[in-house]
Copies of this chain bind each other. A is one copy, B any other.
Amino acid sequence: MTATPLPLAQSSQDAQGGACCAPIARQPLSEGDAAELAVLLKAAADPVRLRLLSMIGSHAGGEACVCDLTDAFDLTAPTISHHLKVLRTAGLIDGERRGTWVYYRIIPEAVNKLGALFTPLSEPVSA
């Protein structure tokens, strides 16, 4: 970050819950949007976190207890907890303690942002 003094860089038609930006092949991403999306992607770009994400998202009721997640990996509990925190900090999941256990669920809006980003244009700009 060399303190680039760009004046505009409006964050597309973001409404804090919708798709942040146009599909990647529609128009160049602004510097700000790219930074914002990179945070989301960096959180998802790990094999363990990807599996955690899909285990949580595909679990019955849309949520999963940490106790269900830990056993599927050859990692210590602190490491799993760390990965969950990365996902939570990025805004991809949300956690809630209910009694003894902590349950996590996916935040669909965040996943939608990524889905919309990589959605190909239906019309391939001729050729």
Within the complex, the shortest CB–CB distance from A91 to chain B, in Å, comes to 14
Question: Does A38 contact B61, Cβ atoms closer than 8 Å?
Answer: no
Within the complex, the shortest CB–CB distance from A113 to chain B, in Å, comes to 8
What is the copy number of this chain in the assembly?
Answer: 2
Q: A25-B57, A41-B44 are in contact. List 19 more A-B contacts (CB 8 A).
A: A2-B74, A24-B58, A24-B106, A25-B106, A27-B58, A28-B54, A28-B55, A29-B50, A29-B51, A31-B51, A38-B45, A42-B46, A61-B125, A62-B124, A62-B127, A112-B120, A114-B114, A114-B118, A115-B119
Name 16 A/B residue pairs within 8 A (Cβ), A-sorted.
A25-B57, A25-B62, A26-B58, A27-B54, A29-B50, A29-B51, A31-B51, A34-B48, A35-B47, A38-B50, A42-B45, A44-B45, A108-B124, A115-B115, A115-B118, A115-B120
- Which residues of chain A in 87-113 are interfacial with respect to chain B, using CB atoms and an 8 Å cutoff? 106, 108, 111-112
- Interface residue tally of chain A, by bracket? 35 or more
A1-17 contact mask (Cβ, 8 Å, vs B): 1 or 0: 01010000000000000
Question: Does A24 contact B41, Cβ atoms closer than 8 Å?
Answer: no
